[in-house]
Amino acid sequence: MSENVKSIVKAEEPMVSYERILLSQIDYCGKVSKEQYPLCIDNLFSLLPIDLRVAVANEYDQIVDLIHDYIRKEKPSCCKINDTILCLCRGDKLSMIESKILHMLKEEHLDLYLKHRHVLKGLILDILDFERISVSKSALMFSIVLNLLLELKIIGPKSITPHIGRVEG
């Protein structure tokens, strides 16, 4: 019986770095459909260590709270403002309020504005029109995660290796 038994060679599993896993998830999130995007961002968020998750959640809450505070300051007629904010803004009113809020964010929190300006308009529009179906909240989370990973140099451009010698030809 031992003659027919072939020895099993244990295959070594490839080493995959944490950075490679994060980059793979980031790349995947850039390719998924609008319906799958929020789940993909949740999965990316879950890959982060707890201290980074806390930092991302804090910045997310800070930005959303700022937008809510600016809406409370503006007191638009298309919003019911109690403990919560319920808005059904449309048309010119919607763009006017969105522009004012973006301007206030830019004036008072330039750093946050510059890091996330590409997703802020959609987030503000989502808050002002709760019937709107969008992925802007997930896009903000994605933007915060990417900026944090870049700041910590966990992800980023590869360094260029210097070469000694000369080029022929």
Residue pLDDT, tens place only, 62-107: 999 999 999 999 888 888 888 888 888 888 888 899 999 999 999 9
Q: Tokens in use for 66? A: 């700022």
Q: Tokens in use for 113? A: 């504005």
Question: Would you state the pLDDT for residue 158?
Answer: 65
From residue 138, alpha-carbon distances to 1, 82, 129 in Å are 59, 25, 17
What is the rounded distance in angstroms from the CA atom of residue 81 to the CA atom of residue 71? 9
Q: Tokens in use for 39? A: 């789940």
Place 157 in a pLDDT band, splitting at 50, 70 and 90.
Answer: confident
Beta-bridge partner residues of 86: 80
Segment 141-146 shows an average pLDDT of 96
Closest CA to 55 of 138, 134, 148, 119: 148
Closest CA to 141 of 167, 115, 159: 115
Given a cut of 80, whether residue 142 has pLDDT beyond it is yes
Percentages helix, strand, coil for the chain (3-state, rounded to 5) are: 60, 5, 35
Question: Would you state the pLDDT for residue 153?
Answer: 86
Place 57 in a pLDDT band, splitting at 50, 70 and 90.
Answer: very high
What is the rounded distance in angstroms from the CA atom of residue 111 to the CA atom of residue 94? 25
Using DSSP, state whether 161 is helix, strand or coil. coil
DSSP state of 127: H
Given a cut of 90, whether residue 41 has pLDDT beyond it is yes
